[in-house]
Amino acid sequence: MTPLSVSVVIPVYNGERFLQDSINSVLGQTFTDFEIVIVDDGSTDGSTDIVRSYSDARLRMVSHAQNRGLAEARNTGIRSSRGIYVALLDSDDIAEPTRLADQVEAMEQDLGLAYLGTWALMFNSEVPTATKLWKTETTDNALRAILMFRNRFNASSVMFRRTAAPPELFANIPMAEDYRFAVAMSKFGKIGNLPKPLVRYRQHATSLTVSKQTLMTECVEKILLQQLGDFGIRPSERELKIHQHIGRLLLQGSATLLDECENWLYKLSNHNDVVQRFDSHVFREVVSKEWFELCKHGSPAGLAAWRRYWHSNLSKAWIPSMRQRLRFLAKCLLKHRREGGDLPKVQSIQES
């Protein structure tokens, strides 16, 4: 049997409210050589009835007798797929009409490309017309470096070569399975993001409970620890906590914390200059961006955070935009005034 070009894997668990929108967004693609593999992960609502209501031969359903979780549902869909490429889409998200066409074109133009995401339009279920553009790094070099700190792929936008995927596929871990999969895929070929929003990502009002936040921290910590080990660094317990803070801003900002973060970023940058794991220029630029975000997070320190940022050599490899600088300075000045300070003569942004 001739393989299809693309298998779109959509896991669903009690997702009847938005499932039809997701399916229709795939059926409306300008690219037509695809199949849709719906994985029902033990739903007890009307999700399966919605899938059965379609007569399109390109759509088929695989079912779990009981709920096994998102990672296992995706793995079932991937293993059931027949496409050269696998595209992921969550059951409450929407693919833009040219998503598959644009991604297949990019993958076929670069045979070394194994894992490809896109930018996204974020929207709230209650106000679907109000969207926010989610932009991220696009090149292989930059994404490899940033993965050392955090995941920069939207899972609902991802397409990958089925033959390039690791045998275990998505790890059956409680949280951060998308992050771990992206890191794993980076070992099998080039990674990238198309600089255009090709999915609409639905944001829900729910927030993580304290217990789930703790679970997320534990799962991410293991991913970071593995990457640092591959990088040739064995961090102490405190260094690992600092490293995760740099990527997720978990700790309360303070001058002491900035000291620790600055020292750790210097250590990473200098180590990379020796081992050349990442492109030195790109890695220093990523580190510089992280330093900016850390100082901005430390704006409760007032103008001290502003001065700290510019006085550090970490600020030299990347210069924030004028808008970014103004917003950072405004936050620092606001805190300074709240503490009763007079507005000093601040070094001009252009001079900085």
304 has a pLDDT exceeding 90: no
Residue predicted with more confidence, 260 or 1? 260
265 has a pLDDT exceeding 90: yes
127-134 vs 94-95, strand pairing mode: unpaired
345 has a pLDDT exceeding 80: no
- Across-strand partners of 113? 190
Mean pLDDT, residues 301-328: 91
> What digits encode the pLDDT tens for the residues 55-105?
999 999 999 999 999 999 999 999 999 999 999 999 999 999 999 999 999
* pLDDT for 125: 74
- Which pTM was predicted? 0.90
Give the confidence band of 343 by pLDDT, cuts at 50, 70, 90.
very low
Read off the tokens for 122.
């974020």
349 has a pLDDT exceeding 60: no
16 has a pLDDT exceeding 70: yes
Tell me the one-letter amino acid at 283.
Answer: F
Q: In angstroms, how far apart are the furthest CA atoms of the chain? A: 76
Give the confidence band of 270 by pLDDT, cuts at 50, 70, 90.
very high
Q: DSSP alpha helices (H): ranges in the chain? A: 16-27, 47-52, 70-80, 99-109, 140-146, 177-185, 210-231, 237-248, 255-275, 280-297, 303-311, 322-338
Q: Around 240, how many Cα atoms within 13 Å sit in the side-chain half-sphere? A: 18
Averaged confidence pLDDT in the chain: 91
Give the confidence band of 142 by pLDDT, cuts at 50, 70, 90.
very high
* pLDDT for 350: 46
**For the chain, domain boundaries:** 6-203, 232-338
* pLDDT for 174: 87
Residues 6+ apart with CB under 8 A from 139: 192, 282
129 has a pLDDT exceeding 90: no
340 has a pLDDT exceeding 60: no
Give the confidence band of 1 by pLDDT, cuts at 50, 70, 90.
very low
- Of 158-162, 224-228, 330-334, 335-339, the one with minimum mean pLDDT is 335-339
Spatial distance between the Cα atoms of 148 and 125, rounded to a whole number of angstroms: 32
Mean pLDDT, residues 212-236: 94
* pLDDT for 314: 96
CATH among 1.10.630.10, 3.40.1280.10, 3.90.550.10, 3.10.50.40 for 6-203: 3.90.550.10
* pLDDT for 190: 97
* pLDDT for 164: 92
> What digits encode the pLDDT tens for the residues 197-220?
999 999 876 655 677 888 999 999
348 has a pLDDT exceeding 50: no
Give the confidence band of 255 by pLDDT, cuts at 50, 70, 90.
confident
The alpha carbon dihedral of 250, 232, 193, 314 has a sign of positive
Give the confidence band of 48 by pLDDT, cuts at 50, 70, 90.
very high
Mean pLDDT, residues 8-19: 96
